[in-house]
Structure formats: structure tokens, C-alpha cells
Amino acid sequence: MPRHVLRPLLLAVLLSAGLAQAATFKDPALQQALDADHDEELLSLARARLKSDANDAQGLAATALLGLQDGDSTRLEAHAKALQQCVERQPREFVCHFVLGQVLGSQAMSGGMMKAMTLTGRIKESFQKALELEPQSFEAREALQQFYLMAPGIAGGSTTKARALIDEIQDSQPAQAHLLRARLLATDGDTAGAERELKAYKPGREVAANKAWVQGWAGLGLSYLQDKQLPKARAWFEQLIKEQPQAALGPFGLARVAAAEQRWEESARAFEQSRTLEGARNLPIDYRLGLMLQAKGDKAQAKAALERYLAGRTPSKRLAEDARKRLAELG
């Protein structure tokens, strides 16, 4: 099963096509903290709820979402157990099913092939139930579609089912349909089609959809970079910066393009800019900066960047392994 099955999603309330969408949390304060990526505030609010009621569904889900960021296997297992109990106590509580699916997905990504295969059924069931409870939830629909597209057929993956999720909202939520269709086309290798759908979406007030659009746009830009289409990749990320200047993925992607073009100073400036913007905590900025500096021939600064990456918040196991290898090479 691919490593990136069911990447954890930290998405928020969505208002689209004039319809009231389901929020992750019923508590507006929790939702506001989640939307703004205010982790400490979210944790404080969650702890207050759990102090009042140790079985509070929203408190359990909030702490589990925060737990996804550190990737600790023991804590993830504890969160999964608590959310499973939440599901059993409150079978119609959307947030328990939805966040349980994310926690299980994180376990599947980090636990190896056998672990992933044992969890796929529960992941799918969690997202299916969440969407059944809140059919207007973009977050749940997006997560379930990603499962269908990334999981092998034997584990429940299905392009047909992924397409059906789009057809269900084509008329009622056309903006969301563009985003989901872009992912489907990109997965099928239809880059031109994915580009068309992403361009058809106009970023607005919809927090969750906007985040999905930024991620989809950046993903396509990185595919252009990997295909050595550097002018196109540059223009693509420059457009993202223009459209969503608060998003870290724009300058982060441009920094990688500039590095490929050996525009070292521009790359360094863009990496530093990305640190200050929304979503920076989820990006391996120091790892990529280290690779750029190594390619430039600046061994001392490359070592410093890679060491910062390893000392930082929950480095990827794969990237951490590569960073250690590079540090050994750098002496």
C-alpha cells in the first residue's frame, strides 16, 4: 500500500455554493483554533473540555488531531483506542469517525505494509460513516476519495467509487467537484485535465476547499518540476503566490524550482519566506534547504540545515534517513 495513503488532514469549516457545510467541530472556539492553526489554543480548549468530561468527543478528537503531528506510534495507538471507544459510545458523532480515520491512516503510513493492510478496512469504514453522517462535509468526502484513489483494489481502492463521489455533488457543490476531479485526473496521469479543473476553481471564503486547492496546485507544480519543465513549474508557483500569498507552499515550491535552476540566492530567500506563512509546519523546509546548499557546495550551511531538520518537529522517517546519510557524506 502506498505510503501516502490517507495523508492526515487538518481541514476546517466549509461554506460553499450557498450551503452550510459540516464543520469538523461543533464548538466554534475549537473550529476557529483549528482553522487558524493555533495548536496551543486548540490543545488548551481540548484539555478544558476533557477536564469537564473525560469522554468528550470533541476534546478527544482535537487532541488526536494534534497527536498526528508528532507521529509517535504509542500515542497514536492510544488516540485510536480512545476514538474507537468514542465511536462505540456515540455512533452518530461525526468527529469521532472522521478523526479516527485520520489516525488510522497515519498509523498505516508509518507502520509498514502489513500494518497498512490490516487497517485499510477500518480506515475506509471510518470515512464512509463520517460522510454518511455529514454528506456536505468536504473534508470527509476528500478523505474518502483519496482512500479510493490510493488504496489497491484488493484493499478497497476504486476509481469508479472515487468518481461517484464527484458525481454526487456535481450540481449542488460544483466548486468542490472541480477539486475532487482534479485529484482524480492527476492520479490518472491527465495533467492537462487536472490543470483545467484547478484553474476552474476560484479561491474564496471556503477554508477547507481553499487548502485543498493550494495542495492540488502545488502538487501539480512539483510534478512539472520532477518532469524538468522548469519554466512551467516556475510560472505555476508564481501564480500560486499571487493567488494565495499567505500559503507557504507557494514560496516553498518556487524555492525548489530555483534550486533546480541553480539560482541559489533566490532559492534561499524563498525558503526563508515560506517559514513565516500558513502551513510551514507541515513542510520539510530545512531538509530541502540543506539539499540546495549541498548542491551549491556550501557544506557548513548544508550541515546546519539538515541538523535543524533532524532536531525539529517530527521529521519524516524517509527524509530523516536521507538527511543522516547526507550528513555522513558532508563529514
Chain mean pLDDT for the chain: 89
Instruction: Indicate whether 22 pLDDT > 80.
Output: no
Per-residue model confidence as pLDDT tens digits over 259-272: 999 999 999 999 99
Q: How confident is the model at residue 23 (pLDDT cuts 50, 70, 90)?
A: low
CB 144 within 8 A of CB 128: yes
Q: What percent of the chain has pLDDT over 90?
A: 73
Instruction: Kindly report which listed range (6-15, 155-164, 249-258) carries the lowest average pLDDT score.
Output: 6-15
CATH superfamily placement of domain 207-278: Tetratricopeptide repeat domain (1.25.40.10)
Task: Give 1 or 51, the one with higher predicted confidence.
Answer: 51
User: What number is the average pLDDT over the span 151-163?
Assistant: 91
pTM: 0.83
CB 309 within 8 A of CB 319: yes
pLDDT, residue 81, reads 96
Contacts of 134 (CB under 8 A, 6+ apart): 22, 94, 140
User: What number is the average pLDDT over the span 23-35?
Assistant: 87
Contacts of 320 (CB under 8 A, 6+ apart): 309, 310
Nearest CA-CA partner of 199 in 219, 221, 178, 180: 178
Q: How confident is the model at residue 134 (pLDDT cuts 50, 70, 90)?
A: very high
pLDDT, residue 19, reads 28
The domain spans of the chain are 1-165, 207-278, 284-331
What is the rounded distance in angstroms from the CA atom of residue 49 to the CA atom of residue 31? 14
CATH fold match for the domains 1-165 and 207-278: yes
Q: Which residue has the cell 476552474?
A: 200
- Residue 64 corresponds to which amino acid? A
Task: Give 237 or 23, the one with higher predicted confidence.
Answer: 237
Per-residue model confidence as pLDDT tens digits over 276-317: 998 898 899 999 999 999 999 999 999 999 999 999 877 788
Per-residue model confidence as pLDDT tens digits over 90-130: 999 999 999 999 999 988 887 777 888 889 999 999 999 99
Give the CATH number of domain 1-165.
Answer: 1.25.40.10
